[in-house]
A and B are shown apart, each in its own frame.
Chain A
Amino acid sequence: MKLIKLEKVVKIYKFGENEVKALDSITVEIDRGEFVCVMGPSGSGKSTFMNIVGCLDTPTSGKYYLEGIDVSTMNAEELAEIRNKKIGFIFQQFNLLPRAKAWENVELPLIYAGINSKERKNKALEMLNKVGLLERAEYFPRQLSGGEQQRVAIARALVNNPSILLADEPTGNLDSKSSIEIMQIFKKLNEEEGLTTIVVTHEPDIAAFGKRQIRFLDGKIISDTG
């Protein structure tokens, strides 16, 4: 059984009269331990794909099986639970809570997993240590550099032991040095812990970190090295 299996997934956005077919019958399988890079021009459907894989959104039609379970028909409560337990999402804009300290941002998924506060803090600090930011635990996001903020976001994505790590242009707002650092963290996690990782990127040298490249165009997969 594959970790991720999409069958003829279609996503249509409607606004007024207009319809946009952001995903046009995508069928793809991704296995445990893969490191996939998703590429393609702007508007080709990469983010839409990631959102559906990350259970932030549901397909208009088609099926999505995560660990063999059909999640394409789940309701908001069930999807929230999947996101909490199985998915670690990383965004281009970091999406940290500005008024929460680094470790408080990291513990966020654990709050909704019902973990008590002592254990939460321990785990959060452990994750910050893993991304090399233990000494920044008490900092607020605005006191951190872009690269550091993204590492906090990675720690948050990892804290509840997800099955998949999803990153939508994680280096889009970073300089090349920080970008490499971030990608090296992903690579290490994938190689040492076998964490399934999907990264969206525009840059070929970032995409080179992946073991498999999927290319999108107009909502379709036009090439797949896997």
Chain B
Amino acid sequence: MILVTSIINIAFRAIKANFMRSFLATLGIIIGVGAVVTMVAIGSGAREKISSQISSLGSNLIVVLPGATTQGGIRIGAGQQTLTMLDAEAIQKECTNIVAVAPAIFGTAQVVFGNQNWSTAIYGTTSEMLVVREWELVSGRFLSEQDIKNGTKVAVIGQTVSEKLFGELDPIGKIIRIKKIPFEVVGLLDKKGQSLTGHDQDDIIYIPISTAQRNLFGHILPGRVRVIYAKAESLESLPEAVEQIKALLRQRHRIQPGQEDDFTVMDLTQMLKTAEEAAKTLSILLGTIASVSLVVGGIGIMNIMLVSVTERTREIGIRMAVGAKPKDIRLQFLIESTFLTMVGGTLGLAVGVLASFIISSVMDWPVKISIFSAFLAFGFSGVVGVFFGFYPAYKASTLNPIDALRYE
């Protein structure tokens, strides 16, 4: 039995002797593995982002908007004020799968504190909003039932608003002016980050819905709301909850069978789940495309190995003349190509990780390097080495020793 370590030694020396060529052959694998790792990281990053969206939105969230939605997704009559506070109360009371409901009216307004001013989204809502959106407070308190009933001028602000108006100051207890009307800041929300559409969810102020209607958004009829957020009990009960709300609102709005809804019920969690699936498909697709470059890299290795076999025909002849068996020669070239691809795989992994970080910081795209994809790329490059190394190795092993020795 020939010692495998000796053969490994022979293969290494051959690689060292042709370092530049070996490196160039490896480049294809480096690029291939790098591409796979990067592409999968981009795809997984997108998925991760969507998943975090789902939780930042508030899980099991249903959004009810006024106006119908056509098949094509276009809302008609969005300006109609078909939803009311009473609709919200009815949903809370009658839909068994709904655990919390928060109606809201909203608009944009200028907010001033001292000499700082900032234009932001003002939401008039109820105390339930915090639960529905699964939002935490950093300090202070949220709107109370008392605030809603009495229409007090209090505000709970998001992180972005706090930064813009107060900088390092503690906003709690400070008086801000919204459309010149003074409000006391009673609470500061935790950071939520960007929404799926890229808008800043922390650029927001919550005030009591009654105050908003009376003092800020007078054009909205009293008792009318622009959106109702509802939280379903569980992911499984979401579809049923949606149906319950639809049935209830049709009944309350006296919509005849066959007539269109004058409202739209959106199951955002479900939509995000769909988007998550799409992102998963995307990452598989990207990975597959990148794999093609890995195969091309493998062919590059094969090419170099074939050249190497031809160039070293005489060496093969000498080895055979002193007793190397065909399988010894085969092993030598297989080890050589596998080693090249493994080194390529390792370097490619490093390149992929680096590229992922660059993309994530320069293009502001979330990337997630999965250990699995790393191992896959690495293992695959080993397989590529054996696969594309086999033919040249086989070719070398079938050489006739005399012809090989005569080769010039």
Contacts and interface: CB of A to CB of B under 8 A. Distances in A.
Given A99-B17, A108-B319, A80 B324 contact: yes
B315 A111 contact: no
B7 to A, nearest CB: 8
Interface stretch (B91-99, B325-333, B334-342, B369-377): B325-333
A119 B287 CA distance: 50
A24 B318 CA distance: 28
Given A91-B405, A95-B405, A112-B328, A80 B3 contact: no
Interface residues on B, range: 20 to 34
A174 interface: no
A160 B402 contact: no
B319 A112 contact: yes
Given A76-B326, A80-B324, A81-B325, A111 B405 contact: no
Interface string A86-115: 000101000111010000000011011111
A213 B3 CA distance: 41
A149 interface: no
A202 interface: no
A95 B2 CA distance: 22
A95 B407 CA distance: 11
A17 B54 CA distance: 79
Contacts of A99: 13, 17
B322 interface: yes
Interface string B18-30: 0000000000000
Nearest to A156: B322
Contact of B323 (A80, A95, A96): A80
B22 to A, nearest CB: 14
B5 to A, nearest CB: 8
A84 B322 CA distance: 5
Contact of B402 (A56, A76, A108, A109): A56
A59 B183 CA distance: 107
B154 to A, nearest CB: 84
Given A95-B318, A97-B318, A51 B323 contact: no
B1 A114 contact: yes
Contacts of A56: 321, 401-402, 405
Contacts of B6: 111, 117
B402 A83 contact: no
B13 A111 contact: no
A97 B1 CA distance: 23
A218 interface: no
A225 interface: no
Contacts of A160: 323
A123 interface: no
Contact of A114 (B2, B10, B315, B317): B2
Nearest to B323: A84
Interface string B277-303: 000000000000000000000000000
Contacts of A108: 318-319, 322
A145 to B, nearest CB: 20
Nearest to A51: B402
Contacts of A19: none
Nearest to B9: A117
A89 B3 CA distance: 23
A99 to B, nearest CB: 6
A21 B13 CA distance: 42
B11 to A, nearest CB: 12
B320 interface: yes
Contacts of B13: 99
Given A83-B322, A112-B319, 7 more contacts: A77-B326, A83-B323, A84-B322, A84-B324, A91-B405, A95-B405, A99-B13
21 contacts: A56-B321, A56-B405, A57-B400, A57-B401, A57-B402, A77-B327, A83-B320, A83-B321, A83-B323, A84-B322, A89-B321, A91-B405, A95-B321, A96-B318, A97-B315, A112-B323, A112-B324, A112-B325, A114-B1, A114-B2, A117-B5
Chain A to chain B: the 7 pairs with minimum beta-carbon distance, closest first: A84-B323, A112-B323, A109-B322, A80-B325, A111-B6, A114-B1, A112-B324
